[in-house]
Amino acid sequence: MSDYILEMNGITKEFTGVKALTDVSFKVEKGEIHCLIGENGAGKSTLMKVLSGVYPHGTYLGDILFEGAVQSFSAIGDSVRAGIAIIYQELALFPDLTVYENIFAGNEVQRGGIVDWNRTIAEAKKMLGKVGLDVNPELRVRDLGVGKQQLVEIAKALSKNVKLLILDEPTAALNENDSENLLRLLRELKAQGITCIMISHKLKEVIAIADKATVLRDGRTICTLDAAKGEIQESIIIKNMVGREIDDIYPKRANRTFGDKILEVVDWSAYDPQLGRSVARNVNLHVRKGEIVGIAGLMGSGRTELAQSIFGNPKGYRLEGELWVDGSPAAFKHTSDAIKAGIAYVTEDRKGDGLFLIQDIKSNITAANLSGISSKGVINDNEEIKVAGRYKESMSIKAPSVEQIVGKLSGGNQQKVSLGKWLFVGPKLLILDEPTRGIDVGAKFEIYTIMNKLISEGMSIIMISSELGEVLGMSDRVYVMAEGRIKGELPIEEADQEKIMQFATQ
């Protein structure tokens, strides 16, 4: 009998047509801190969702053994009862409830449906003591900082007698001080016998805290490194994280000559009043005519926020700095101004804020340029069908007709509709935010080919991507972002995966 608290064997999880996990095995010993690492999209979160029952038993292949017994969780509640707690990057707290209400939310101290608030508060104080958080439990969670909120989450997990604590990028939103506190707490919990799985992108933390580290890549387990054997080192981790060879799914582009600067931002900062912090800080970057500029970085590094702050600032950030378009200063009050200036932005979240899912292909393609198919405000329906048909043809969007509802298309075809919508605007600069997320290799290749064609027609592209292969395969120049700042700028000749990862995990 081994003393594994958790064994996941041969886990395979498939989403319609896309394999997110292939035969993954993941073993965690009792009482250790085990880090799970990998690029965005490597399958870490999917694996944790399988474990916690978000994807119920039966929707994946393989076995989960927890404390030696085979488990078949069919909902999150089941895994919680077994003693597994997950703390996600986006905290799942109720901001307007008090600390003690949050700690016992869903697990109320009660008798016959009547809550015993006095005992709740007393218990909450005990839990807060365990995580070393010295706050009044009657404060509203909204009034605590992010670091303290995280501790409240952990206290909540402890109140449920957690045996295995899973933290998904716990320090992503924390400053250095709070991060250190958190790591110290994890060590203390380990001393109390609580096993911990931590998903992290910050390699320094991993090196500081991990007993073991398992690396996932492209939905497969690559290796498990052991600190006791001295295997947890930055170079070894990075090599295993990115190890994939860049194959030739990136079509070649013959002509790489660039014209004048088409866009430039100088000392650009964006403050998000809702989050209460800056999402972009002192950014300097430029794009030349005929150039593909890659912006690499991990999720949450501020790339999308930067792009949107340039593209008419739909989220209403407070902006500082200068924006130059075609050599003259520009200020966009609304996205429509940015579009008029020749900028297009293809969002990373095509279902959330990209497409009109309940509308058909033609309405989506013409949505940003209705004046192109209308005169005096009256739409020419036939012209619209013709235009949409043209894009359907040229981008080989697979659908029976342009009257097909977009929500029913596959991810790749949806992305092409998204792209078609912006090409119909006829932009000078196309900002692509994660252009190939969640689409299969064939469709990726098609999107890359379209990008190259656009460049040859004189367009410029900013490509935001978490996929290093894509960044290296397609860009002419690469910026790396982390924590809202540009941490490095690399001409493509000097860029490689290790260098980018180093900047991104700083």
* Interface ranges with other proteins (CB under 8 A): 311-312, 314, 334-336, 338-339, 345, 347, 352-359, 363, 366-368, 370-371, 374, 377-379, 381-382, 385-386, 405, 407-408, 421
User: Between residues 120 and 364, which has the closer beta carbon with respect to other proteins?
Assistant: 364
Q: Are 461 and 489 in contact (CB under 8 A)?
A: no
Helices (H), 317-440: 335-340, 361-366, 381-394, 411-423
C-alpha span between 479 and 489 (Å, rounded)? 4
How far is the CA of 76 from the CAs of 56, 87, 193, 284, in angstroms? 8, 12, 23, 44
Name the DSSP class of 281. E
Minimum distance from CB of 356 to other proteins (Å)? Answer: 4
Minimum distance from CB of 248 to other proteins (Å)? Answer: 34
C-alpha span between 361 and 367 (Å, rounded)? 10
Minimum distance from CB of 338 to other proteins (Å)? Answer: 8
Q: Are 475 and 468 in contact (CB under 8 A)?
A: no
Minimum distance from CB of 311 to other proteins (Å)? Answer: 8
User: Between residues 186 and 361, which has the closer beta carbon with respect to other proteins?
Assistant: 361
User: Between residues 217 and 350, which has the closer beta carbon with respect to other proteins?
Assistant: 350
Closest-CA residue to 291 (of 445, 499, 431)? 431
User: Between residues 244 and 386, which has the closer beta carbon with respect to other proteins?
Assistant: 386
Tokens of 262: 């088409």
User: Between residues 407 and 458, which has the closer beta carbon with respect to other proteins?
Assistant: 407
User: Between residues 33 and 346, which has the closer beta carbon with respect to other proteins?
Assistant: 346
The continuous run of DSSP H or E covering 497 comes out as helix 497-504
Minimum distance from CB of 303 to other proteins (Å)? Answer: 16
User: Between residues 402 and 480, which has the closer beta carbon with respect to other proteins?
Assistant: 402
Minimum distance from CB of 355 to other proteins (Å)? Answer: 6
The 3-state DSSP class for residue 202 equals coil
User: Between residues 119 and 386, which has the closer beta carbon with respect to other proteins?
Assistant: 386
**Phi, psi at 271, each rounded to 5°:** -110, 125
The 3-state DSSP class for residue 192 equals coil
User: Between residues 237 and 306, which has the closer beta carbon with respect to other proteins?
Assistant: 306
C-alpha span between 472 and 497 (Å, rounded)? 8
Beta strands 114-115 and 110-111: pairing type?
A: antiparallel
Minimum distance from CB of 413 to other proteins (Å)? Answer: 15
Q: Is 90 exposed, middle or buried (0-12, 13-18, 19+ CB in 10 A)?
A: exposed
User: Between residues 97 and 379, which has the closer beta carbon with respect to other proteins?
Assistant: 379
Beta strands 277-288 and 292-297: pairing type?
A: unpaired
Minimum distance from CB of 370 to other proteins (Å)? Answer: 4
User: Between residues 105 and 357, which has the closer beta carbon with respect to other proteins?
Assistant: 357
Minimum distance from CB of 390 to other proteins (Å)? Answer: 12
Minimum distance from CB of 381 to other proteins (Å)? Answer: 8
User: Between residues 370 and 441, which has the closer beta carbon with respect to other proteins?
Assistant: 370
Minimum distance from CB of 407 to other proteins (Å)? Answer: 8
C-alpha span between 103 and 8 (Å, rounded)? 29
Helices (H), 131-175: 146-159
CA atoms within 13 A on the CB side of 311: 22
Name the DSSP class of 206. H
Q: Which residues contact 14 (CB under 8 A, 6 or more apart)?
A: 20, 60
The 3-state DSSP class for residue 387 equals helix
Name the DSSP class of 437. T
Closest-CA residue to 339 (of 297, 317, 372, 362)? 372
Minimum distance from CB of 337 to other proteins (Å)? Answer: 8
Q: Are 446 and 396 in contact (CB under 8 A)?
A: yes
